[in-house]
Every structure is written in structure tokens, then in C-alpha cells.
Amino acid sequence: MSFAGKTLGHFDLLASIGRGGMGEVYRARDRKLDREVAIKVLPEEFTRDGNRVARFQREAKLLASLNHPNIAAIHGLEESGGIQFLVLELVEGETLADRLKRGPIPADDSLKLALQIADALEAAHEKGVIHRDLKPANIKVTPEGKVKVLDFGLAKAFAEEKQEATLTYSPTLSELATQKGVILGTAAYMSPEQAKARTVDKRTDIWAFGVVLYEMLTGRQLFASDTVLDTLAGVLRKEPDWEEVPARVRPLLRRCLQKDPNKRLRDIGDVKIELAETLANPNDVLDQRLIAVAPERKLLLGFPWIGATAILSLLVGGVAVWKLKPTEPRQVVRFSYEIPDDIPFNLIQGGAVSPDGRKFVISTSKGLYLHPVDELTAKFIAGTEGNTRRPFFSPDGKWIGYYSATDRKLKKIAVNGGTPVPLCDVAGISGAWWNDDNTIAYGQGDDSIMRISANGGTPESIARQKSRTLADPQILPDGKSVMYTAFPMPVVKIMVQSLKSGETKELFRGVGARYLPTGHIVFMSPDNNTLFAVPFDLDRLQAKSGPVATLEGVGSYVVSESGTLAYIPGASGAANSRQTLVWVNREGKEEPLSAAPNQYTFFRISPDGKRVALTVGTPPKDHIWIWDAVRETMTRLTLDEGTDNMTPLWTPDGKRIVYTSSRENLMLGDIYSKASDGTGEAEKLASSPGRGLVPWSWSKDGRTLVLWEFDSTASNQDIGMLAMEGNHLRKPLLQEKHVEHDPRISPDGRWLAYASNESGKVEVYVRPFPEVNKNRWQVSTSGGNNPLWSLDGRELFYHTRDAAMAVPVETAPTFNPGKPTVLFRGTHSKCTWLADYTYWDISPDGKHFLMMKEAATEAPRKINIVLNWIEELKQRVPAK
């Protein structure tokens, strides 16, 4: 009910001026003191709980002791006719939320307001009071520009004491679904620990302060979404787009917005110091102009915005300066392009920057789009119709090479379009480099780097590493060596190899390395979204010092020799990928498993088909979980922290799980066993120093565990056996000079299917078991991995790069494989840690396969451009 026009005690309630999760607020006149005040009438259900009222009175006394010019005062807690209400200082002006409806606040003005908010928080924290519900709606700005923070500590005072630590009675949900807008408005400013219903301290206010400051600078709510759950999920998982805020403020905001409170700034007084120093040193005016203060000046591909002409003039001028004044430091300029919805952009398909830095090309499922830096629109390159991937420029910038997934060819086309020129057939490419000698080096998604003339011809192999997938090649300026990335994860490495001798040298862990004329190698970390740089001695082919982080929050990047950096902000790679699990029948029809998307890598179906054991997470925080398909619940099996636990395999009776754990054998792993219901401790079954042991299959009687074994280089992979009785004796089964993996024993126990690269590429073979040296049959004909047997043993399934294959087999009087046929095709995920490797399992009835697909997420639709980034690189990471 409304109390406007009514009287409570000696207060005349004149008009309603707002409503929040803790009651309605009225402008009122205090007849005793002849002054205007604000009255907050507390909800009726609150007043019926005597314990909560008593507790509120105790808290209100503490809150009333706050006396600070930036804190709206509490004059008292009153009661009239059974109605409880607070008497508050009446603050004229608009809330910060109202002000932000008109857009972002200029950087210096934002910082000045933030300094006053920090002053208020410091005064409260010194009294032991935490706000708990800091948000723009609780911050007023008077007409004179003075900040007044409202509702200090009321969230705690209002909550039920016995429920204080629960989400239901947090400030986010204190008024349930009837106040959806209020809930969402508050949830967006919650700290991660509040969202997890954990105990909070003053660091939760520091988090909310950071969220509010980010919103003031950008005019955009950082975590708000359409529903409470989506909003809270954003708080827990989403990372801010740091490029949207001025560079000088980013360090402070990063410290305020650490999701782990132990890594967050601990005292708001430290925030005040940094704010004051930042205000005193406005040293990134250009950055503010292009990014933070005027988001309307961003450039949208295909659509001009207000102010774009002025920025383009600056960019064109910047390009001209490169030639006119090459000896002077060039100005670093940042801006971003937002990609229209009608361009089917996909982060994975890639992009490239021209050598002069003046153009970049985007690869899409419809073809290539070229975007000159000094123009507003992206232009479709006629002739590239179809699914294109991995574009790259010629050294003179006149041609673009790319892979056509439509007809599986490496092609080139003139930069302005025309008739594409096919160069060679290839199943796929994993990066390419157009060298000055008019040759193209490319990875073909296997263990080789190939080279072909830019005019076409027969490709030749120039680098190779058995059992590794090679990607992102670059012929170094000496012309004598090639640099590339060698997978699989997590032991992913940047390598350099002599083109003459074939001698290989490991440089460091990383992905996507590029050598620049400044004498640096830049590369991405395999563990997070950080771009690193390291000074590099080209003569000795070695780093001069350790890597230095240069840019965080990078999903993928490309950089030109002239120094233009283009990158997609956000997450990518193994550490951030999320998959869904799907059942696929023999016709390729999919039905999703109801388990939520997550970072899945390995999984096995239980013998009864009712449960799935899964590896979830990324090292060193991957663990074994059990999905119960009947109850639709996910239960964690392995509990030890800081340890890799992966590759689960059910025992034949379904009572235990054997798996690989690195708790003692780091980066490799030993064999452990644990009851599948989670009871008891894990039992160590086998270890081998310097070797990784992976459980993969069982003999028919369940007495022998067949292992996939490898060393730290992953170049030595074999198949072994482990006795499950007695002392768990381990011995080799198949140990040859080739790489052997994926061992699977047939249902009748007589045959061993496995994968090997003995022919030069990975194929599926079968041998007798356990007498593996008596015979051998090749089953696949055009590559294959991860074989599976049908339940009756009359079919063998395996996977190629893009297809599931089926092979009929006869076993009497001897083994005889039939012709492989395509069972179904599909864009199913590769195993995160094994590069070009499709992981799957077969149901006990033999009718369905369990597979992974990338979770449906909204792809980033923004490209950040940094002109002359090379100048910034030279300052941060000196090459000498």
C-alpha cells in the first residue's frame, strides 16, 4: 500500500520518491524539527518478525553513528501504529543510475565521483560497517556535484540473522521475484563471494566499487543480463573488456575486480591513493578519446557512426606519418570494430593483417571480407564464395592466401577479388606463411609442415615431428629455419627446425608464435588469454631473456611486420573451451545429454549404460566426475586439489574407476583406482618414473588392464599391460619404433585394435591379443584414430578428421576386415589435449555414440586494432 499523503507519528509523508528491496521511500516533513527528511517504510512481513526487528534496531544504532559528508545520514528508527520506518537524510539530486541513463561520464569526472564514493566507504569500513549493496541506485549526486552514498549496511540489518549467509536473503534476492528489476540491478553488482553465498567482508564493497566505476566510464553495466541466473553467472565467469576503459584506470580496476577476494585490493584507502594519483597524471588522453569517453566514436563495420570521420582522419594521418617520419616514435592508436550481424564472423576461422598494417581480412563461412583501416565498411572479396579459413597475405600485400573448406583446396586470390587460383589439394590447414621467396609454408593439421610454390605445384615436407600436430609455421628471416607450434596440449611448445639438417630445438611453451622485425617473438600463453613477448637472438635461435606479458584478455591475435596488432578480446583455447555431450546414432542424428556444458575432455560410459565418468576442467584443476543419467546429477569423484585427474575407465563390474593422476608424477601421471560411489580412498595401482600411464581397455576376464604409455616428449608412445591381481605387475605389450596408442580389446578378448603412425600417418590396425607379434592388419585406409568395437565384435568403428567410419570384420578362420564406409559426418569437438583427435565412446547396446560438441556461445563480434603497437612493445620489452 502507498503511504503518500498519510502521517506517521510527527512525520507527514508528502510523496513517494523511490522503492527498493528494503522498502518504499517517501519525501516527508518532520513537524518537530521543521525540516524535510526521507522516510523508508519497511515491509509489513519484516515488522511481524520480532527477532529481525530487534536485530535491525541494533544494527541501526551502529549505522546512525556514521557521520561523513559523503554518507546519507540515518536520523533514527521509528514505529507508528505497528509500522516500522527509518528516518533518513533527504538528499536532493539524481541517483548515479539516473545519470548513467544518459551515457558514460567523462573519465576525469568519473574519477572525481569515485574518489568521493571511496571516501564514504573508507569512513564506514573504519567503523566496521560494510555496505553490501553498493550500486548506482544507492549513490546520489547533488546539484553541486557532491556524492551521497545511501543505505549503508541496511542489507545486513534487513536480513534474517539465521539466513544471513544464504543467497535467498542476500541483498540480491531480498525481495524475491516481484521486484525483478531491483533484483537484476543489485545482482549485477554482487561480488563473486556474495553470489556463492559465502561470508563477505569489506572486499565485497571494493568489488562493487570497481563495477560502478567501470559503468561510469563506459555507460554499460558490466554483468547485467536478462535473468538473475544469467547475471550471477556473468559475475562468476565473465571477464571485463578492459579495452573499453582508459589505460590509466585499468590497473586499478583490475585490482578491484579480481574474482578471488584474496587477490583483490584489501583496503579502500589504497583505492583512494591510486585514484588521486591517476587524477594527477592524465597521461592517456588519446586512449580516453578513442575508447572510454565516447563509445559513439567506435567504428562499426558497414555502418558509419558520429565522429568516425574525425577518427579516420587521425588514422590516415597516422599511416602517413609511418612513411614521413620513420625515425621518430610513432603514436600508438587504439580503436575497435564491431562486426555487423549480417557478416557470419567466426573467431576460429581466423583473420590476417596486411604487411603494411593498412588492411585486415576476416574469414567467414560465406567468404573473405577485406577491411581497409581508413574506411568505414568491410568489402566482400568476390571470388571467395564458400567456407573460407586461415587467410594470410603475400609479402607485397597484393594477394591473399586461404583455405577453402568447401572444396578442400589451398588457394590465393588478388586482394581486390577476381578468380581464385588453386594451389593444391589439402584436407585442412593449421596456419600458413607466405615467404619472401614466393613460397608458402603451411601446416596440414598433422605431424608435418609443408611448402609449396605460391604459383602452385607439388608440396614438399620441410618439418616433421612424429605424434605431434604442427601449426602456425613461419620461415624465419634467415631463410634457414622454420618456427612452428607443436601440439598436443598441455605440453604445447614453440619449436624451431633447421630446413637443411632437420635439427629441432624447443624454444618455450606457447602457441601461435610470430617473429617481428624488432627482434621479438610474440606468442600466446597456452594456459590463459595473455599475449607474451620475448627478445630473440636470431643468430643463435634462442631467447635473450624470459617472456614478458604484454596484453591480457586476448582470444586470438594477428600482427603485421609494420606493427599493427588486431585481436579478438575474450577467451579462447583449451582453458576456456566448453563442450556439450551428445548421443549420436548410426545415422548421425543427435540427442544432447542433459548434463550442463563444461570443460569436458575424456569420458567413458558405465557397463550398465546408466552413468558416465567424465574428466572436467583443465590442468591442474581437472577432476573425475560421475554423471547419473537416471537422477540427472553430477557428482565429483576425485577431491584432491592441484592435481590432474583424467582418463576415467570403469572396471567391468562398474564398481570402481581407474584413472590417471599426476599427484606424484607431474605432467605425466600414474594409475589410481577409486570406488565409483565415492567411498574410500584412492588406491595407487602403478607408476613409472618418466612415463605417463593411461588406462584404456580391459581384457575379457578383467584381470588385465591395457595401457597407453608415453614419455614427456610425447614422441615415444607405446601400449602396455597391467595385472590387476597380486603386485600389479606392468609389462610392455606393443613397443615398437613407431607411435602406438588407443588400444581397445575386442568383446571376445581375442583382438587388439589400436592406432599407429607406422605408414607415415595415423591409421587403425588390429593384432591378435595377447600374442600381438603373430600378425597385423591395417583397417583404416585414409587415416583414423580411437577405434571402438561393436558389442558383438563384428564391426570396428574409428574416426577420421570429420567422419565416423564403420568396418565390417570377420574373425574366423582368421581376422579379415572389410571396406570402410562413412557412418556419419559432423562437427564434433576434438579432444582438448590431443589436438586433431576425436574422442568418443559407444553405448552398451551398440546403437549410440557419446561425443562432444562445442557449447553454443555467442562468438565475440568485436576486433580491437592497435596501430603502431610495435612502439609499445619496444618500450615494454627492450630487445637488447
Tens-place pLDDT, residues 331-390: 777 777 777 666 666 544 678 999 988 888 988 778 899 988 766 677 899 999 887 889
User: 837: pLDDT confidence band, cut at 50, 70 and 90?
Assistant: low
Of 104-118, 190-204, 309-323, 688-702, where does mean pLDDT reach its minimum?
309-323
CB 711, CB 741: distance < 8 Å: no
pLDDT at residue 745 tops 80: yes
pLDDT at residue 423 tops 90: yes
Would you please indicate which residues are annotated as catalytic (active-site) residues?
133
Name the DSSP letter for residue 76: E
pLDDT on residue 336? 75
Task: Give the mean pLDDT of the chain.
Answer: 81
pLDDT on residue 294? 30
pLDDT on residue 330? 65
If you average pLDDT over residues 783-796, what whole number do you get?
93
Cell 506517521 identifies what position? 8
- Please report, as a single letter, which amino acid is at residue 603: F
If you average pLDDT over residues 484-505, what whole number do you get?
84
Which range has highest mean pLDDT (75-84, 326-335, 717-726)? 717-726
Residue of 197, 224, 55 lying closest to 132 (CA atoms): 197
CB 709, CB 686: distance < 8 Å: no
- C-alpha span between 207 and 247 (Å, rounded): 19
Q: Is the pTM of this model over 0.85?
A: no
pLDDT on residue 573? 45
pLDDT on residue 306? 24
pLDDT on residue 315? 35
User: 19: pLDDT confidence band, cut at 50, 70 and 90?
Assistant: confident
Ordered DSSP codes for 455-523: T----EEEEE-TT-EEEEEEE-TTSSEEEEEEESSSS-EEEEEETTT--EEEEEE-EEEEEETTTEEEE
CB 186, CB 164: distance < 8 Å: no
Mark 655-686 as b/e (b = at least 16 C-beta within 10 Å).
Answer: ebbbbbbbbebeebbbbbbbebeeeeebeebb
Percent of the chain whose predicted confidence (pLDDT) is above 90: 39
pLDDT at residue 856 tops 70: no
User: 556: pLDDT confidence band, cut at 50, 70 and 90?
Assistant: confident
pLDDT at residue 117 tops 90: yes
- Please report, as a single letter, which amino acid is at residue 841: D
Q: How many residues does the chain have?
A: 880
User: 298: pLDDT confidence band, cut at 50, 70 and 90?
Assistant: very low
Angle between helical axes of 203-218 and 268-280 (0-180°, round to 10): 30
Strands 795-799 and 785-789: antiparallel
Of 119-128, 134-143, 189-198, where does mean pLDDT reach its minimum?
189-198
pLDDT at residue 29 tops 70: yes
C-alpha cell read off for 24: 518504499
pLDDT on residue 173? 30
Q: Does residue 66 sit in helix, strand or coil?
A: coil
Q: For the sheet containing 333-338, what is the strand order?
A: 299-300, 333-338, 862-867, 565-569, 554-559
pLDDT on residue 599? 83
C-alpha cell read off for 412: 590465393
pLDDT on residue 829? 67
- Please report, as a single letter, which amino acid is at residue 823: L
Give the residues across from 359 on adjacent strands. Answer: 372
DSSP H or E stretch at residue 311: helix 308-324
- Please report, as a single letter, which amino acid is at residue 736: E
pLDDT on residue 305? 26
DSSP H or E stretch at residue 210: helix 203-218
pLDDT on residue 631? 84
> Any residues with CB less than 8 A from the CB of 487 and at least 6 apart, and which?
468, 469, 470, 471, 835, 836
If you average pLDDT over residues 405-416, what whole number do you get?
88
pLDDT at residue 617 tops 90: no
C-alpha cell read off for 367: 567468404
Radius of gyration of the CA atoms of the chain, in A: 32
- C-alpha span between 27 and 37 (Å, rounded): 6
pLDDT on residue 515? 95
User: 821: pLDDT confidence band, cut at 50, 70 and 90?
Assistant: very high
pLDDT at residue 761 tops 60: yes
Of 162-171, 367-376, 527-536, 632-641, where does mean pLDDT reach its minimum?
162-171
- C-alpha span between 304 and 298 (Å, rounded): 9
pLDDT on residue 303? 28
pLDDT tens sequence across 642-671: 566 889 999 999 999 999 987 775 556 889
Query: Which long-range contacts link 74-83 to residues 24+ away (Cβ below 8 Å)?
Result: 74/152, 75/37, 78/8, 78/9, 78/11, 80/8, 80/9, 81/8, 82/47, 83/3, 83/8, 83/41, 83/42, 83/44, 83/47
User: 164: pLDDT confidence band, cut at 50, 70 and 90?
Assistant: very low
CB 467, CB 714: distance < 8 Å: yes
pLDDT on residue 867? 84
DSSP H or E stretch at residue 609: none
- C-alpha span between 672 and 683 (Å, rounded): 5
C-alpha cell read off for 75: 536520523
Percent of the chain whose predicted confidence (pLDDT) is above 70: 81
Q: How many CB atoms lie within 10 A of CB 720?
A: 22
If you average pLDDT over residues 164-176, what whole number do you get?
30
If you average pLDDT over residues 235-251, what whole number do you get?
89
Q: Does residue 768 sit in helix, strand or coil?
A: strand
pLDDT at residue 685 tops 90: yes
If you average pLDDT over residues 246-259, what whole number do you get?
92
pLDDT at residue 322 tops 80: no
pLDDT tens sequence across 689-704: 778 899 999 999 999 9
Write down all domains in the chain, each with its CATH number in brackets: 7-288 (1.10.510.10), 345-572+859-876 (2.120.10.30), 688-824 (2.120.10.30)
pLDDT at residue 618 tops 70: no
pLDDT on residue 762? 87
Angle between helical axes of 268-280 and 107-126 (0-180°, round to 10): 150
